[in-house]
Each structure stands twice: as structure tokens, then as C-alpha cells.
Amino acid sequence: MTSTIILVSLLFGLVALEVVLWAVFLRWGLRWAKVQGVTWGRVALATLLAGVLQVPIAIGQRLLSPASAAQAALLGLGGLLASVLVAWSAIAVVCKARFLRAAQAWLPTLIPSLGLVLFALLIMVPYLGETFAITTNSMAPTLLGKHWRGVCAQCGQPAFGSPSPGPPDAAARLPLMICENGFHVSEVKDFDPRVRGGDRILVAKFLKPRRWDLVVFRYPEDPSVVYVKRLVGLPGEEVFLDGGAVWADGRQLTLPDSLRGIEYLSEMPGAYVELWGTRERPAKLGPDEYFVLGDFSARAKDSRLWEQGAPGHPPYAVPQSHLRGVVTHIYWPPQRCRTLR
């Protein structure tokens, strides 16, 4: 709850500051463009109208799921162009200015926008929080990447799995899915082949990670890649999996209520490497190391399967220096919004 209050207060504070500064610099721009009859009332109305018209553009960009980096770039460019044209139009209509005069008056509003971008890059992202888009289903059903939705073969509740390449084939092997009610894992026959988009998450940098938190970190084998997994092993512990449960220093850990029914696999038939975190190969963590697992254990490349560690660390360990933050919220899509810490 505290993280929610802090992040929401910060977000609304930044939005309010941007609106006020945008109006101030728009007033200055209108004078510079020599637009006649400008009042603070018209400036406020133009600012409000421009802001309101940005909302459907932002929502449209969130709803669309580009299939490639090129499509994502085109979508971003199109959204930016639409936002600029909307702002120019709002200024022109409300302030009764010619379109080119409105464009000139808009130019000074880039100054506060640039200031907020610098604030985000220099302070917000390094020290407070940032957002990420989920691309895989290793954390399903807690976090979803692009996915198929089906019906759990055991309980009839919604289940989720990763789309197979190419069109679904009834003769092919049924997709393996995990249920949102009890974490049942089964091959699902009844599923919708439409590909749904993934979750977008908010990550807090100021929170100290705790056991069972979802954490974002740099992948030890390739630090340029960012992963999100569940933190189960703490510094100094000896961790192994047995019977679907997590054991630390010889005692079985009690799952939080939100994870009742989950099974973390210590055996994966067909795995390409010998697993870490078993009774035979326990994960012995150093004073600054963590052990992480994916909730969709049968489909997660987590600490059990890594082959190369960060310099000076064993393969299964996430060094503290690699942690980026704790996942606090799913903020998109709307039907998936929830607080995780």
C-alpha cells in the first residue's frame, strides 16, 4: 500500500507540474507568435483540450501490439505525429490563431517536456521506478506475455500458455497451460487461438526485495537482457526444491496465500542441462546473491537452468548488483490491473 501511495503521488505530481508548465510556456509562445486576444482562460482551455485529446492516442498505442521492431517504431512515430497535430489544432481553435501561428506558439512547450524527460532519465528511472512490458509466460498466470487463453482441464477456470509458431493445428500436440486458480498445469484442448497482448508492469527501485517478491534483474548470462522472476532464496541460504516445495537451510518454506497450489519442479524431463536447486545440487548463496524461480515452472528458464553466472558468482545466483527493482503493479491492460506489493 505504501508503494502505491508513493508512486501514485509522484505520478500525479509530475502530471500536474507538466500541465502547469505547459500552460505557462504556451502563454509565452502565443505572445512570441503575436496571437491577439490571448487570456489565461483560453490558455487553460487549450491546455485542457490538448491533454484530453492525447488520451485516445495513448490508449490506441497501448491496444495495438506491433509484431516487429519496425512496426513498433512506425507506431511510435505515428503516435508522436498525431500528438503534435492534436496540440497544434487545439491551440489554433481555442486561441483563434492560424495553424502555423499555433505551431509556433507550441514550440516553447517543448522546454518543460524536455525537462521532465531529463528528470525521468536522471532521477526517476535510476532511483525511483520504471516500467516494463512482459514478453514471455515464465511467470504466468501472475504475469502474462503474449498468450493464448484456454480452459483448465482440471477445474474449468481460465488458463494461459504461450502461442505456438504458425497457425494452431488440431493434430499437433496440445498447448501446455497454467491455470489462474490453483496453478494447475495441463495440456489444454479448449483454447482460443487469438494471441492476446502481455502485461505492462511498474517496478519500484526504492523497495528492499523480500522473499516471494517479483523482481526485475539483469540476466547473469547476458546483462543486456532483463528478466522478471519470483525471489525465493535469500543471501546466505542453501536452497533446494523437493516435492514441489522450496526448502531453505533445511526447512520447508511456507507459501503465501497467493501461491497456494503452485509446484516448483526439481525435475524436468528432457531438460538440456542438469538442474540447480535440487537435493543433489543445492544452491548455496553468498552474502549478496539471490535464487529466483518462474511461476510457470515447466516453462521457466530460471536459476535452475542457467549455465553461466555473473563474474565471480555461481550460475544459479542473481547478484544484488543485478537487481533493478521490485514489481509493485500491473498497470495495463485495464482488466489485469492489480497491486502486487
pLDDT higher than threshold 90 for residue 8: no
Cα distances from 194 to residues 60, 148, 166, in angstroms, run 19, 6, 12
What is the Cα–Cα distance from 200 to 302, expressed in whole angstroms? 20
Q: Which domains does the chain have, with CATH numbers?
A: 2-131 (no CATH), 147-196 (no CATH), 200-339 (2.10.109.10)
Distance between CA atoms of residues 122 and 117, nearest Å: 9
Share of the chain above pLDDT 90, in %: 77
- Cite the DSSP H helix spans in the chain: 2-32, 40-63, 69-94, 99-106, 110-119
pLDDT score for 169: 54
75-111 pLDDT, tens digit per residue, is 889 999 999 999 999 999 999 999 999 999 999 999 9
User: What does the block give as the cell for 172?
Assistant: 499437433
Whole-number pLDDT of residue 256: 96
The yes-or-no verdict on residue 65 having pLDDT over 70 is no
CB 262 within 8 A of CB 183: yes
Residue among 110, 108, 101 at smallest CA distance from 33 = 101
Q: What is the pLDDT of residues 308-323, one digit of tens each?
A: 999 999 999 999 999 9
- Indicate the range of 46-60, 138-152, 155-169, 209-223 predicted with least confidence: 155-169
pLDDT score of 76 = 87
